[in-house]
């Protein structure tokens, strides 16, 4: 297709495989997704955040607002012309669309929302880094009280704790505001310039265009220089410093531990003041951030809205699950049904019984396609069902069915009409 993205290293790809850098999530692994998204939705609701759903693509300009000099905008965006000639891009991150929605709909602040959505970045795929990744995130717009920064961090912190993730460190920094940034930028440029000749064209370009983009680079050959760079903290205005200290005091009061990370700058230009990242000590350093976020007090205004401060975060689901694997948290569990109905009578009896069980709230299944009774019992075993319920002609004629405990092998006869109630009691006792 003319104008379509081509990937030279991928020319002989098998087209009936998921594209490079994307993954299918199948059961039982997908069961973990259900669990973590449900846990997040519950926690977000408890904090007063409502779900927001925005399109997977936006006008290109929306995403250009995250920073013209960032890797995401410059090198990684999936942008295209649609058939109507509009310049659109697939969502590379979740904050810009939420702020765009805020500016468009003008909800009454504070506006507190959460989301779960795929993001698209044309990156070099590796473990923990994909071309499509999912984020769980939240944004709070309309308040610049440091207490909201604390609330946002508390939302993530407790979420990881609830999932059983323990080897997670919270890194905290202030990116300053529009008044402290110019002086810091100049200090960085003055410090970096003498190294530009040795460290390559990319380095030299970043020094002039956006020296903060050097601080968040993972390039090994730049690290020595980066480590001795001037620190933002020394350039903060009194106001930004006071904000930062109030965030620290708020976190202290809630017993949330953090490390000050003076060189944490995050990858987007919209950040102001509070910036944070949760890193998993169980992951490789290059992909150890399982979540991150910060303030973006100018973004709504840059999109033509009223001046509206904001703060939020995004958690990478795939990366978080790699951290869970490393720590043995949120194990994948095969879905099990409560009852598997084995049909030895034919007709519609089995269908009616399964429907009754399901309506009663019992996970139930059966075989299709007129399988032999032996084959049906095999399927019942393989399904991991707790009970097998057998419809057989002789028992049914007396108004009974045979219920087999598939763990102990014990078998009892139960009145046909009492089967849902009987199973509910047994399953309920075990769940308790
Ligand atoms: P981000 O740091 O670019 O921030 O992404 C958030 C998280 O998404 C990362 O910490 C990481 O876990 C995951 N992630 C990012 N890129 C990839 C990738 N290529 N493959 C797998 N996982 C990835 C944002 O996107 C901001 N919108 C966060 C935010 C919300 N700031 C304020 N509000």
CATH number of the domain within which 397 lies: 3.40.50.800
- Once rounded to an integer, what is the mean pLDDT over residues 174-197? 93
DSSP states along 269-299: TT-EEEEEEEEETTS-GGG-EEEEEEE-TTH
**289 lies in the same domain as 370:** no
Residue 346 CA to ligand 1 center (angstroms) comes to 54
List the domain range (segments joined by +) for residue 393.
339-431
- Once rounded to an integer, what is the mean pLDDT over residues 314-334? 96
In a domain, residue 367? The reply is yes
Q: How high is the pLDDT of residue 216?
A: 83
| Largest pairwise CA distance in the chain | 94
Task: Specify whether the backbone of 3 is left (phi greater than 0), alpha (psi in -120 to 50) or beta.
Answer: left
Residue 354 CA to ligand 1 center (angstroms) comes to 44
Residue 30 CA to ligand 1 center (angstroms) comes to 21
In a domain, residue 35? The reply is yes
**283 lies in the same domain as 402:** no
In a domain, residue 286? The reply is yes
Residue 99 CA to ligand 1 center (angstroms) comes to 16
Residue 427 CA to ligand 1 center (angstroms) comes to 41
**357 lies in the same domain as 279:** no
- Once rounded to an integer, what is the mean pLDDT over residues 252-277? 95
**73 lies in the same domain as 124:** yes
Average pLDDT, the chain: 94
- Mutation pick for ligand 1 pocket among 122, 133, 269 (CB with most ligand atoms within 8 Å): 133
In a domain, residue 24? The reply is no
In a domain, residue 293? The reply is yes
**143 lies in the same domain as 59:** yes
Please say if the pLDDT value at position 7 is more than 70. Answer: no
**288 lies in the same domain as 424:** no
Q: How many CB atoms lie within 10 A of CB 127?
A: 12
**298 lies in the same domain as 369:** no
Is 290 close to ligand 1, i.e. is its CB under 6 Å away? Answer: yes
**291 lies in the same domain as 362:** no
Please state, for a pLDDT cut of 70, what percent of the chain lies above it.
97
- Mutation pick for ligand 1 pocket among 268, 292, 313, 317 (CB with most ligand atoms within 8 Å): 292
**354 lies in the same domain as 318:** no
Is 133 close to ligand 1, i.e. is its CB under 6 Å away? Answer: yes
**56 lies in the same domain as 127:** yes
285, 300, 327 — which closes off a domain?
327
In a domain, residue 196? The reply is no
Please write the tens of the pLDDT for every residue from 189-216.
999 999 999 999 999 999 999 999 899 8
Q: Which of 334, 355, 361 is nearest to 427 (CA)?
A: 361
Counting from 1 in the atom list of ligand 1, the atom nearest the Cα of 121 is 19
Please say if the pLDDT value at position 362 is more than 80. Answer: yes
Top-confidence residue, 7 or 129: 129
- Range in 11-25, 114-128, 177-191, 327-341 the model is least confident about: 11-25
Is 388 close to ligand 1, i.e. is its CB under 6 Å away? Answer: no
- Once rounded to an integer, what is the mean pLDDT over residues 4-20? 70
Dump strand ranges (E) for 82-204. 87-90, 111-120, 132-141, 168-174
Counting from 1 in the atom list of ligand 1, the atom nearest the Cα of 320 is 12
Is 92 close to ligand 1, i.e. is its CB under 6 Å away? Answer: no
303, 327, 351 — which closes off a domain?
327
Q: How high is the pLDDT of residue 12?
A: 57
Counting from 1 in the atom list of ligand 1, the atom nearest the Cα of 313 is 30
Is 95 close to ligand 1, i.e. is its CB under 6 Å away? Answer: yes
Annotate 207-217 with b (16+ C-beta within 10 A) or e (fewer).
Answer: beebbbbbbeb
Band the pLDDT of 290: cuts 50, 70, 90. Answer: very high
Please write the tens of the pLDDT for every residue from 30-75.
999 999 999 999 999 999 999 999 999 999 999 999 988 888 999 9
**Residue 250, domain CATH:** 3.30.930.10
Is 297 close to ligand 1, i.e. is its CB under 6 Å away? Answer: no
Residue 246 CA to ligand 1 center (angstroms) comes to 25
In a domain, residue 173? The reply is yes
DSSP states along 180-229: THHHHHHHHHHHHGGGHHHH-HHHHHHHHH-THHHHT---HHHHHHHHTS
Counting from 1 in the atom list of ligand 1, the atom nearest the Cα of 123 is 19
**392 lies in the same domain as 310:** no
Q: How high is the pLDDT of residue 286?
A: 82
- Mutation pick for ligand 1 pocket among 121, 298, 314, 317 (CB with most ligand atoms within 8 Å): 314
Is 149 close to ligand 1, i.e. is its CB under 6 Å away? Answer: no
For residues 271 and 290, give the distance between their C-alpha atoms in angstroms, rounded to a whole number. Answer: 18
**41 lies in the same domain as 159:** yes
Q: CA 96, 98, 100 angle in degrees (round to 5)?
A: 70
Q: How high is the pLDDT of residue 163?
A: 98
Please say if the pLDDT value at position 114 is more than 80. Answer: yes
Is 67 close to ligand 1, i.e. is its CB under 6 Å away? Answer: no
262, 292, 327 — which closes off a domain?
327
In a domain, residue 209? The reply is no
Beta partners for 260?
172
- Range in 12-26, 95-109, 371-385 the model is least confident about: 12-26
Residue 356 CA to ligand 1 center (angstroms) comes to 45
Is 135 close to ligand 1, i.e. is its CB under 6 Å away? Answer: yes
Residue nearest to atom 18 of ligand 1 (CA): 129
Domains held by the chain: number: 2
């Amino acid at each position: 297709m003319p104008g379509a993205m081509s990937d030279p290293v991928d020319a002989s790809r098998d087209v009936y495989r998921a594209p490079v850098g994307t993954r299918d999530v199948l059961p039982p692994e997908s069961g973990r997704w259900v669990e973590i998204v449900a846990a997040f939705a519950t926690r977000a609701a408890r904090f007063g955040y409502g779900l927001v759903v925005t399109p997977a693509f936006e006008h290109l300009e929306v995403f250009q607002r995250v920073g013209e000099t960032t890797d995401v905008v410059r090198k990684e965006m999936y942008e295209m012309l649609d058939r109507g000639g509009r310049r659109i891009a697939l969502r590379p991150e979740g904050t810009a669309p939420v702020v765009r929605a805020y500016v468009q709909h003008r909800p009454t602040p504070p506006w507190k929302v959460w989301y779960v959505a795929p993001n698209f970045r044309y990156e070099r795929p590796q473990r923990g880094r994909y071309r499509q990744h999912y984020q769980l995130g939240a944004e709070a717009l309309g308040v610049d009280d440091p207490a909201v920064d604390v609330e946002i961090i508390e939302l993530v912190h407790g979420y990881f704790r609830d999932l059983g993730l323990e080897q997670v460190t919270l890194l905290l920094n202030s990116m300053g505001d529009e008044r402290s940034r110019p002086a810091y930028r100049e200090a960085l440029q003055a410090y970096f310039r003498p190294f530009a000749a040795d460290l390559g064209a990319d380095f030299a370009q970043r020094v002039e265009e956006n020296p903060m983009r050097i601080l968040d680079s993972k390039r090994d050959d730049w690290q020595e220089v980066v480590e001795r760079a001037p620190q933002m903290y020394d350039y903060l205005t009194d106001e930004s410093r006071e904000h930062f200290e109030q965030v620290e005091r708020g976190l202290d009061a809630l017993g949330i531990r953090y490390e000050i990370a003076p060189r944490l700058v995050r990858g987007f230009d919209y950040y102001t003041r509070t910036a944070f990242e949760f890193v998993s000590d169980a992951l490789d350093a290059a992909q150890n951030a399982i979540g991150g976020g910060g303030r973006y007090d100018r973004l709504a205004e840059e999109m033509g809205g009223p001046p509206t401060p904001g703060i939020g975060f995004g958690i990478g689901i795939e990366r978080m699950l790699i951290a869970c694997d490393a720590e043995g948290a949120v194990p994948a569990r095969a879905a099990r049904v409560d009852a598997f109905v084995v049909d030895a009578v034919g007709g519609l009896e089995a269908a009616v019984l399964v429907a009754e069980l399901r309506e009663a709230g019992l996970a139930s299944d059966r075989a299709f396609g007129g399988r032999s009774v032996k084959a049906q019992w095999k399927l019942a075993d393989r399904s991991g069902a707790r009970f097998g319920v057998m419809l057989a002609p002789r028992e049914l004629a007396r108004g009974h069915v045979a219920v087999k405990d598939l763990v102990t092998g014990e078998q009892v006869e139960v009145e046909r009409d009492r089967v849902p109630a009987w199973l509910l009691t047994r399953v309920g006792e075990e769940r308790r």
